[in-house]
Amino acid sequence: MGEAAEGSGQTENAGAAGAAAESTPGGTSAPEPGPGARRDRRKRKRRSFWRELPILIAVALLLAVVIKTYAIQAFFIPSGSMENTLEINDRVLVNKIVYHIRDIHRGDIVVFNGDGSWDPGPIPTNGNFLDQFFNGFASMFGFGHPGDILIKRVIGVPGDRVACCDAQGRVTVNGVALNEQSYLYPGAAPSLTRFNIVVPTGRLWVMGDNRFLSDDSRDHMGDPGRGTIPESAVIGRAFVIIWPPSRWRILPIPATFEQPQLNASGVAAPPVTGRGSSPDLLSARLQPSGPALPLSLGFAAAIPVTWLQRRVRMRVARRRQRSREGRTPGS
């Protein structure tokens, strides 16, 4: 009886040892992590988060400047010269990429720098890539000189003859009358000023939608360019109202500018008599919105970028660890 019990105990011990040996490769059992190991893991995660946070902030700031400088920028509308299309306190997004892809079209609402065309001084230049980046960084936080930033609708592109008015009081482009009622301020006449000009090469004829109040090409015919602005001064195209939410809408090109007859070539323009701008007119000088929007977009783009670089870095670290373990003697 004693021998049988002893033999049975030996069998049970052998079976337990075998089960333990089968539980892990190589016959060694892996101990369960204790509370101390779990605490260490949490500490490592916290340390990893604080190490990643500066990277996230730096990437977000870099992306915010890139987005604002080269892609999209928000502007605040301070006056009523573009009513009712754009109202006071509206905020619009301006696409800075579009004119690298296509030409400026009639009917586009463009944001441009009035320095050197409507205002005294040299015509601004964009500079090289780094100049634009540093200027964008400075302007995002209120430094530097943003220029006299204005917003108007393009009525005539290079080569167009733009005139007012025909027998019905309408603005014409290349002899084709524009039906502007869809965007003009209600009750506003197309123009109370008569003009007849062929838009020079590389320049644009622009007008506000509230013709009663807009200080635009008509009021600068005595300035360099005879009221036109250089295409190089255009910053981008306003394409959507983003604030307030009740005003959210896309800013399309009105249908009247899609008339195929508008593409006829202009002819030599007769002399025009310039006149100074009236002090009660509004140029819709824009104020760049604060850094909140570009920073928000920067952080939104930085999160997946930071997560991706962290995954890649951790994967590389694991491969290096496995490689070191594979070179360990006795492994």
Give the up-direction half-sphere exposure of residue 143: CA atoms within 13 A in the CB hemisphere: 6
Cα–Cα distance between 200 and 218 in angstroms, integer?
15
Average pLDDT over residues 5-25: 45
The owner of tokens 């780094």 is 130
- Phi/psi for 24 (5° steps) reads -135, 155
What share of the chain has pLDDT > 90, as a percent? 40
Write the CB contacts of 247 (distance below 8 Å, at least 6 apart in sequence): 87, 90, 241
Judge whether 299 lies within some domain: no
What CATH code is carried by the domain that includes residue 217? 2.10.109.10
pTM beyond 0.75: no
Structural domain including 118 reads 76-123+148-287
211-242: per-residue pLDDT in tens? 998 999 999 998 878 899 999 999 999 999 99
- Assign 271 a pLDDT band (cuts: 50, 70, 90): very low
Is the residue at 224 inside a domain? Answer: yes
97: pLDDT strictly greater than 50? yes
- pLDDT for 306 beyond 90: no
Active-site residues: which are they?
81, 152
Does any domain span residue 234? Answer: yes
Does some domain include residue 4? no
The torsion angles phi and psi of 37, rounded to 5 degrees, stand at -65, -40
Q: Tell me the CB-side half-sphere exposure of residue 274, using CA atoms within 13 A.
A: 14
CA distance 184 to 198: 23
Q: Is 96 part of any domain?
A: yes
Number of domains in the chain: 1
